[in-house]
């Protein structure tokens, strides 16, 4: 079975879906692996390393796309690329299927089995394939490093003959995978950390990392069966904003990571809250690209609001592209390995498989994922 890995084309994307190490493991599985020339350049992986791993390096992208039985990549393809792919092949990448309806239809029409990395079930068994988590983890780390780089103060307390410096105060809103890593990173740097999340179950996790959990009584919030936050009512959001105001005003750094799966992120830090912070303070909005948790944040830019630096940079894992590539590529390899049939030496799409039933979006000319099917109906 021929596995093809085309180069990422999104501007500035340096991550690589398959590292030479993963290519080697795929070859060991019995697959033939073709990678596009220059595939790993952005993350410092050279063509020669892929060749040494047993893969073939090809320069002709269209040929690679047209011949592969399975395409392994990071970002969703352009709709125009679908026509170049082999009918009935398997395509694995992030897909954004909630928003990319045209893409889903194009996959369906070409009878491609499209697997969405975002839709891998968040179960214990699928953890090793969970790219949302692996990349969010790194994003949490990167946000703290960016905040520290822009803050005109240091994070740890320092007692020196030249004076005593107080630790920076960091407030983290949203303590999922990214938020928890941000808490851990800020603590490691010596900051005093407070955090809030609408899922009460998170309070203990925040405390176990050495953070203080901000208690806000929002009434019933709970979480979905999948462990995701439920959307708050407008009244609850208002209550949350009010209760956070004082903590935000006295924080040196505010990091927001609040998401509600399949929805636009909630706006939880308003412009007047940013204006209420001390000049020189830093706000990092992880959701800037998808609508923003912070009023006034600008996607992919660093802006000043009343002397407060507001960071809205997107694609955060790309800032540590080498490690992000290693993690994503491990996720991808684990997925292929999990559904690889050794006897036939091929990847099998079985819709009864508990992991595949969640993340296969189209198969055999149909939209097979129930959530996306209902969305498109």
Residues that bind ligand NAD (CB under 6 A): 122-124, 127, 130, 132-133, 136, 173-179, 196-199, 227-229, 232, 240, 257-261, 266, 268
The residues, any chain, with a CB within 8 Å of residue 358's CB and separated by 6 or more, are 119, 120, 121, 369
Nearest-Å Rg of the Cα atoms of the chain is 22
Residue 219's Cβ-count burial label (10 Å; 0-12, 13-18, 19+) is exposed
Nearest distance in Å: CB 261, ligand NAD: 5
CA-to-CA dists, residue 98 to 149, 262, 372, angstroms: 35, 7, 7
Q: Which is nearer to ligand NAD, 31 or 183 (CB)?
A: 183
Q: Which is nearer to ligand NAD, 227 or 280 (CB)?
A: 227
Catalytic residue among 47, 130, 252, 285: 130
Nearest distance in Å: CB 275, ligand NAD: 20
Distance CA 65, CA 183 (A): 42
Nearest distance in Å: CB 115, ligand NAD: 17
Contact (Cβ atoms closer than 8 angstroms) between residue 306 and residue 106? no
Catalytic residue among 228, 322, 323, 338: 228
Q: Which residue is nearest to ligand NAD (CB)?
A: 176
Locate 377 and state its tokens. 């109906």
Q: Which is nearer to ligand NAD, 21 or 338 (CB)?
A: 338
Q: What angle do CA 87, 92, 98 make, to 5 degrees?
A: 100
- Residues in the chain, how many? 377
Catalytic residue among 43, 113, 133, 236: 133
Residue 235's Cβ-count burial label (10 Å; 0-12, 13-18, 19+) is exposed
Contact (Cβ atoms closer than 8 angstroms) between residue 261 and residue 122? no
Q: Which is nearer to ligand NAD, 8 or 197 (CB)?
A: 197
Nearest distance in Å: CB 257, ligand NAD: 5
133 has catalytic annotation: yes
Q: Which is nearer to ligand NAD, 28 or 125 (CB)?
A: 125
Catalytic residue among 61, 75, 127, 322: 127
| DSSP string over 294-353 | BTT--TT-EEEETTEEEE----GGGGGHHHHHHHHHHHHHHHHHHTEETTTTEE---TTS
Q: Which is nearer to ligand NAD, 93 or 126 (CB)?
A: 126
217 has catalytic annotation: no
Catalytic residue among 122, 153, 271, 322: 122
Contact (Cβ atoms closer than 8 angstroms) between residue 73 and residue 6? yes
Nearest distance in Å: CB 76, ligand NAD: 19
138 sits in which H/E element? helix 131-150
User: Any idea which residues carry the catalytic annotation?
Assistant: 122, 127, 130, 133, 228
């Amino acid at each position: 079975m021929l596995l093809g890995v085309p180069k990422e084309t999104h501007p500035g994307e340096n991550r690589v879906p398959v590292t030479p190490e993963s290519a080697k493991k795929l070859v060991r599985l019995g697959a033939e692996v073709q990678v596009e020339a220059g595939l790993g350049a952005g993350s410092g992986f050279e063509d020669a390393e892929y060749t040494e791993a047993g893969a073939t390096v090809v320069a002709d992208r269209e040929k690679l796309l047209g011949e592969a039985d399975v395409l392994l990549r990071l970002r969703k393809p352009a709709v125009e690329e679908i026509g170049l792919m082999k009918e009935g092949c398997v395509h694995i990448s992030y897909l954004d299927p909630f928003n990319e309806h045209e893409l889903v239809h194009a996959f369906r029409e070409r009878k491609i089995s499209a697997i969405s990395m975002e839709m891998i079930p968040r179960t214990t068994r699928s953890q090793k394939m969970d790219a949302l988590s692996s990349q969010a983890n790194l994003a949490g780390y990167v946000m703290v490093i960016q905040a520290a780089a822009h803050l005109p103060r240091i994070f740890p307390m320092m007692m020196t003959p030249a004076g005593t410096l107080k630790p920076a105060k960091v407030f983290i809103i949203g303590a999922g995978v990214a938020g928890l890593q941000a808490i851990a990173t800020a603590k490691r740097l010596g900051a005093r950390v407070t955090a809030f999340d609408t899922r009460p179950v998170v309070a203990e996790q925040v405390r176990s990392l050495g953070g203080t959990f901000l208690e806000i009584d929002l009434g019933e919030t709970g979480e979905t069966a999948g462990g995701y936050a439920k959307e708050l009512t407008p009244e609850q959001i208002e209550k949350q904003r009010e209760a956070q105001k004082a903590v935000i005003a006295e924080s040196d750094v505010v990091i927001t990571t609040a998401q509600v799966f399949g929805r636009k992120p909630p706006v939880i830090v308003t412009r007047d809250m940013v204006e209420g912070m001390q000049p020189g303070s830093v706000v990092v909005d992880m959701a800037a690209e998808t609508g923003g948790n912070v009023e006034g944040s600008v996607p992919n830019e660093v802006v000043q609001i009343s002397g407060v630096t507001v960071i809205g940079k997107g694609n955060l894992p790309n800032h540590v592209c080498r490690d992000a590539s290693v993690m994503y590529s491990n996720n991808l390899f684990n997925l292929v390995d999990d559904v690889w049939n050794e006897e036939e030496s091929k990847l099998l799409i079985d819709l009864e498989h508990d992991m595949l039933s969640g993340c296969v979006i189209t198969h055999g000319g149909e939209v097979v994922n129930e959530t996306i099917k209902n969305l498109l109906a």
